[in-house]
Structure 1
Amino acid sequence: MLKKESISKVPSSPGVYIFLKKELPVYIGKATNLKVRLLSHLQSARFNRKEKLIIEEADKIRYYLTGSDLRSLLLEAKLIRLYKPKYNLRGRDDKSHLYLKITFGDKYPKIFPIRGNEISVDQEVFGPYPSQKITLELIRFLRKIFPFCTQKNISKAPCFYSKIGLCNPCPNAIEKITDSQEKSRLQRIYRKNVNNIIKLLEGNIENVIQELYKEINILISQQKYEKALNLRNRLFLLERLVNRRFSSDGNELIFTDSQKPMASLKHLLINYFPQIKRLSRIEAYDISNFAGKQVTGSMIVFTNGFAEKSNYRRFRIRSNNKKTDLDSLKEVLCRRFKNKWPSPQLIIIDGGHPQVETGKKVLTDLNKNIPLIGLAKNPDRVVIGSKTLVTLRPELNNQGFNLLRYIRDESHRFAKKYHLFLRHNEYSVY
């Protein structure tokens, strides 16, 4: 029987864990924070029969650090498929488990979800995955990065999805080509897309990323800049997928232990802002509008790495149709510092160089010496508001960087919610 002491040395990192009985897996799971998840198993064992049985039977825990939730999801599915632990299957029949099937025998292989009881003995599948939501979300992201066809039969005209980049090259269009060399070239591209998806589902993420970087460099050397740009955008999508939080309950990423992300963030910024001693209060700002109307601003607050929702504030930009987003940002910051709220140790602005320059000028005019950074997108990068603006693109597994991105996303969510509320009130008829 496992005890709390056996979990004390488990790190607070993303990974996959295995409850073992005589070296055989009885339960396999994944977690964003291994230590917290394993401790929750112990706590749940007091009132949940299944959890109690797992804890009582297991005599050992093994874990694998993965660095991201996607890697955990893929490794967990692979291990469950390999070992078939009884407590992963108990309480759910085969019909409830979702897998991804690839039609390898087709001229143009397709990828789609399949229930466990629909799998034949000779079929190769990937999974099982925790829920339908996660499975469909995974397919949606994979298809944006490596397009593939979902039509059962070849038709005469290119499909709708080919027009929005989700089926490219489209088998319908390929089959109409009379030039055998061009047709063969496009067929190889389609197969390569499917093979890259297979590599990702098998967990060979780094291999795929390295191959994409090589292809981009080759295209640049050949001065095929448009193709290189298209491939770069797909690479950014893949990096977003790697860093994405997959949750079957719809929750977003939450840092259950803020110390490491906060220390990592301080380490990321200290060379540019030596005055940073602590980051107990972080404020993030976002401007939202719809076609220049109903312009709103938002301020969210994180205290010691956690959202302090009681300190969130909304700003309705004062009527002026000629105002730009930068003008609105300036107004929000000026109005914020007219209030006697606690001073932040860091300000985060959604945007790049123009937004950071605007924020710096406001702070200078107000005689405020507060570190300020921007978070720009596509790809995500940090713009440091030092004397000369510096752009950083930390590694995707950098916890400080991920904390910044989480704060930015929370700021978006809060701003969007208020903006939609105002739009609803404007157009509602009572």
Structure 2
Amino acid sequence: MIEDLSHVPNKPGVYQFFDKSKIIYIGKAKDLNKRVRSYFTPAIKDRKTEQIKKQAIKVETFATHSETEALILEQQLIKEYKPKFNILLRDDKTYPFIYFSDKHDFPQIQLKRSKQATNENFFGPYTNARLVRNQIKELQKVFKIRNCSNSTFSNRSRPCIEFQMKRCSAPCVKLISKSDYAEDILSAKRYLTSEKKHVKKMLKEKMHRHSEQLQFEEADRYKKRLESIISLEDETSINIHPLDIDIWHGSFEDKTGLAKISVRDGRVRSTKTYLINSDLSSEIDSVFRRALFHNYSNKNQIPSKILIANKILERELLQEALEKIYKTSVNVLIKAPKGSKSFLDLAKLNSKQTLINSENREPAMKQAFDELIQKFNLDITNPTLDCIDISHHSGTNPKAGIVRLSIKGLDKKLYRAYDIPKELGGNDIGSITFAINKRLEKKEENPSIILVDGGKAQLNAIVRLMKNRDVLVLAIEKGSKRKLLTESVYSMDGQESIKTNSKLFSLLTKARDEAHRFAIKANRIAKLKNVRNSFLDSISGLGPKTKQRLFERFKSINVILNATEYDLISVKGVSKVIAKEIIKLKKR
């Protein structure tokens, strides 16, 4: 626990809590000293704060000129380090977006699914794929953008039916120039960002300019685009209050549900929900701050108005930060504007429904564990299963991998990799016995079921360790020629009959495969570490800190070997003599 806070200034800025090896939490404050000290007062805190207080051994601060600067820096650092105690926003599904490919001279337009927009070529998200397809058709009618694949584009020798239907300008056979097509792409993007007035104004100006210059064919092209936009607007339903706004609402119980409703031209374009597995009603400003920065990845995604329907205290600070980051005008509202009530009700319904859905959703592996409990007549309510596998390379770098599964799925917090003593390398039974003994040292981590990748010999080795322990021991053995669905499962009663299409069989094979993957990964890491050490240890004068710097800079042995002398000596501790020795190794 941190005791000395005398170095923390009374200035706005960012604070970072560290455990022994990494950052565990990042926050921002108007007064760093007051905020950091608040974690260590005797008053009872929420569970997250108590855990931070318990685990933090060091705090570092970075002062800024203003609270806005602190907020921006906080978001950048959270994205960079992803500390475990910062809010983890989980998208509950993927969403359809309109996507413009950017790796082609004549970009295509298409529907693409993603959890969020990853760059400025994504537009959305939309409520469903049908809306995206309809919007793409609208854009094609107006701007004649291709939707074919790059391979189809490259192999065309004449225009396709999309050109005949006046939904494509046929760039594949050079019926439009690269510059004109690029202009159509830009106009389509502006159209999607609700700049329709700007687009219509631009089209009118270009139509008149080409007409004045007697370029009637070009003038007619812009006239048709303008008419298409006007025609599409006439087709849409009339709305007395044509809103362009994103509405956010949060519901708080044991968990936190957030919903965003995107309204464009008075119509719902999309909905998006997030579920956070804790009640954050005491951190509402922080919740929405991080939700907004998580959701809006670029300028094209952010609307001119954002309504946060819950009571927040830092509205002006949030607005200023959004404007600075995205370099656009944003109005953050806390009161619903005229005509938005029905959309606000929808946001409230969605945020509440997110919580209801999370309660009604059956845990991922519950059915499989129910089958296991019934099959073996177990008297347990919260079953946990550990699966163990051993990995080594001809007896070297032996590692044991143990993975944990529960009704909720893989519990990676309780995965463990153990170094097996060298004398046990290649001794499967001895390695399993050693690893299980290590696992059982912590009683609070003991499972109710142990599964081993192996046969009767491996099963018996573990059973001998389970005296006076109420633990079911199973073994899963690969079948003939290691074919899938030919595995045999053993218990102390002998071979068990388990249907290969059952949830239980799927659970056991999934656990076996995960333990196998985890053990192999641990073995490879150990092997790579040894290779690194043996390679670098052959160079005289190269100490452990400099070795670490080399791998931090170049990442791999191959890159180190192929680095130039100039690149090598740029690493602190690497002299010209050492650099030349490394280069000689490559030649040898």
TM-score w.r.t. length of structure 1 = 0.41
Bigger Rg, structure 1 or 2? 2
> Which has the bigger relative contact order, CA under 8 A and spacing at least 6?
1
TM-score w.r.t. length of structure 2 = 0.31
